[in-house]
Structure formats: C-alpha cells, structure tokens
Amino acid sequence: MPLPALPRLGLGCAPLANLYRAITDEQAEATVAAAFDAGRPVTYLDTAPHYGLGRSEERLGRALAGRDRASYVLSTKVGRRLRDLAPGEAPEGQGFTDVPGRARVWDFTADGIRATLEGSLERLGVDAVDIVYLHDVEDHLPEVYATGFAALADLRDQGVVKAIGFGMNVSGVLARLVADLDVDVVLCAGRWTLLERTAYDDLLPVCERRGTKVVVGGVYNSGLLADPRPGAPYDYAAAPQELLDRALAMARVCGEFGVPLRAAALRYPFAHPSVVSALVGAASADEVRDNEAMFGHDIPDAMWHALVGEGLLDPDVPLPLTGGPAAGPGADPAAGA
C-alpha cells in the first residue's frame, strides 16, 4: 500500500500521556478536538505504547471515538511491548508522570511485534493504524535486522498496515536503515532543525535517493527554539551557551521581519523535498491553536536570506522559499506525501 497523504502539520501525542507534567483526561480530549477544529485541520496523529506506558494511546482512543476513521491518519510504534507489573514491582515513568501499572519490554520477535500492535489497536479503539514505526532501535540493530523489520514488513505485505518505518533521534542510524531496508517513511526527531543539520548531511540524501519520506519531530529542539532563554532545554538538557546565543540571534533576525521564531522553526524543515510532515506535541487546545497559527504565518524570503547573511544558517543548506516545498498559507495541507 502507498504511504497515506499526510497533512503538513501533525500532532505528537506524547504530551497527552503526562510528559513531564500531568494533564487531565478532559484536557487531553480537548487537545485532540482542537486539532480537528483548527483552521488547517491537524489530522495526522502519532502515538506509541512507550508514551506513558499506554496512556497516550488510551486517551487518544477515547478522543477519537465516534470520528470517521477516514478523516485522520494514525501512527504508532513497536519495539517496546507492554506487560502488567509483577507484585511489588514499580512502574518506570521515563519522563512520564502518574503512569499506569505496566512495564516496557524490548521485543523484536514476530509474535511480540504483532502482540504490541494488537495492544495498541485495543487501546486506540480502532481496527487498524496507517503507519507503524520501529521505535528508538539504535541500540537493538541486530534484533531489527534478524527479526524486527521482517516482522513489520510481513504486516505491511498482509495489508495490516499501509506503511512502515523507523522513528528515533539518531539520524545516522536512520540513514543506514533506509539504505539497507525497504522503508516507506522515517520519523526523525531533532536532527533537522534551525539549529541542527545532522540529518541533512547523513539521512536526507539517502531518503531522497531511495524515495523514502521523512516526518520531522522535535522542530523546537525540545524547547530552545520555542522560547530561547537561560536554562531553556536543548535535546532534553540545559542548552549550551553557544546554542542559546545562536537561538537568541535567530529570534532577533526573525523579529525584524515580524516572524516569531516558532514559526520559522516549524517551516524550516520543509526546505528539503523529502520532508512531508512535521509532528509537534501539544498538551492543551491553546498549544494546538498556537502551533497551527505559527505554521500558517507568512514568512518573507528575505528573512531566510538574512539568517544566512548573518551566519546563523549555513550557506549550503536549502531554504523554504516561496514557491518551494514548504507549505505556506493557502497550500494544500496534504501535499507532498
């Protein structure tokens, strides 16, 4: 099956599972509702069993109940199977708070991958998902090559899922997997942003050559590009001063053109033609609306040239200029997939 057409802006559903801070079931449902009600509907939704030990999938499933299944694209992930806790065993949040009584188990067997997907379908309350990614497998490549990818490819061949790929934040490993395997799409987080070009140098050339589509995550580099200030996070730790200074300088240049840094960060990855969608997490309806507004912000070509002129973007990287691959206001939200 071909990769389904993806809206340019997608909703990352890790925050629905109490990522770093707890939200209520009602807040989670309102977040998803806002995605569907946005001026440019945000109808690509990505989740995973890892997110809150199944809570993201459960909350997303309740929020999707009663909606036309053809009205949205849904992806989840395999590689970590969930099991009930043994007596006396405590759950490991791994960044998620108030988690249910479950544990994660790495499992790349054919039976394990099928069971993981079946568990996701039950929590989501759907008969099928569109895309399944093998999740954070950089330390498990022997198992991926031995059994994991073949098991996922079998599910694609059987029509159980439409498209398969890998999701992680290590672009060099993604590049190797795309070069070696029949991958439809990859989800690359944090490595192709205003502040980092790693994926441009290793992953994106391979994807362009192989025809593999790219979904980008982490466009704000875990927060620095959303709100550059002392102590702001970059790659889940406090940002080094050099990167903070660069982000502040970018914010200054963007501001001279009336463009918020968030809007520039959201638009920039689409400068590369292999990028078809950007996933942005949200934990409230207001955050969804802000993301949609930032994505639709008008950005003059002169701003990108100014960033290059001040040495804030390398002169050899592509720019999302008007009429290029970036989807600006009025563009087809499903184009590019």
CATH number at residue 110: 3.20.20.100
Question: Does 97 map to a domain?
Answer: yes
Question: Does 210 map to a domain?
Answer: yes
Four-residue CA torsion sign, 124, 130, 135, 141? positive
Task: Taking residues 224-241, report their average pLDDT.
Answer: 94
Model pLDDT, residue 215? 98
Indicate if the pLDDT at residue 152 is higher than 50: yes
Model pLDDT, residue 334? 37
Question: Does 315 map to a domain?
Answer: no
Model pLDDT, residue 324? 54
pLDDT band (50, 70, 90) for residue 335: very low
Model pLDDT, residue 169? 97
Question: Does 101 map to a domain?
Answer: yes
Which has the closest alpha carbon to 119: 80, 90, 150? Answer: 80
Number of domains in the chain: 1
Model pLDDT, residue 236? 85
Catalytic residue (one of 20, 44, 51, 145): 51
Structural domain range at position 188: 9-309
Question: Does 4 map to a domain?
Answer: no
Secondary structure in 3-state letters for 104-150: EEECCCHHHHHHHHHHHHHHHCCCCCCEEEEECCCCCHHHHHHHHHH
Amino acid identity of residue 272, one-letter, is H
Reported as a single tens digit per residue, the pLDDT across 269-328 is 999 999 999 999 999 999 999 999 999 999 999 999 999 999 999 999 999 998 654 433
Write down the residue that tokens 């960044």 correspond to. 95
Reported as a single tens digit per residue, the pLDDT across 104-131 is 999 999 999 999 999 999 999 999 999 9
Which has the closest alpha carbon to 187: 206, 166, 218, 204? Answer: 166
Which has the closest alpha carbon to 257: 214, 198, 306, 213? Answer: 306
Model pLDDT, residue 323? 64
Q: Catalytic residue at 236?
A: no
pTM recorded for the entire structure: 0.94
Question: Does 335 map to a domain?
Answer: no
Indicate if the pLDDT at residue 53 is higher than 50: yes
Which residues, 6+ apart, have CB-to-CB distance to 10 below 8 Å?
A: 42, 44, 45, 46, 73, 215, 277, 278, 279, 280
DSSP bridge partners of 188: 168, 216
3-state secondary structure (DSSP) of residue 10: strand
Could you give the CA distance from residue 141 to residue 123 in angstroms, rounded to a whole number? 28
3-state secondary structure (DSSP) of residue 230: coil
Question: Does 323 map to a domain?
Answer: no
Reported as a single tens digit per residue, the pLDDT across 173-217 is 999 999 999 999 999 999 999 999 999 999 999 999 999 999 999
Q: What is the largest CA-CA distance in the chain?
A: 62
Question: Does 1 map to a domain?
Answer: no
Reported as a single tens digit per residue, the pLDDT across 243-276 is 999 999 999 999 999 999 999 999 999 999 999 9
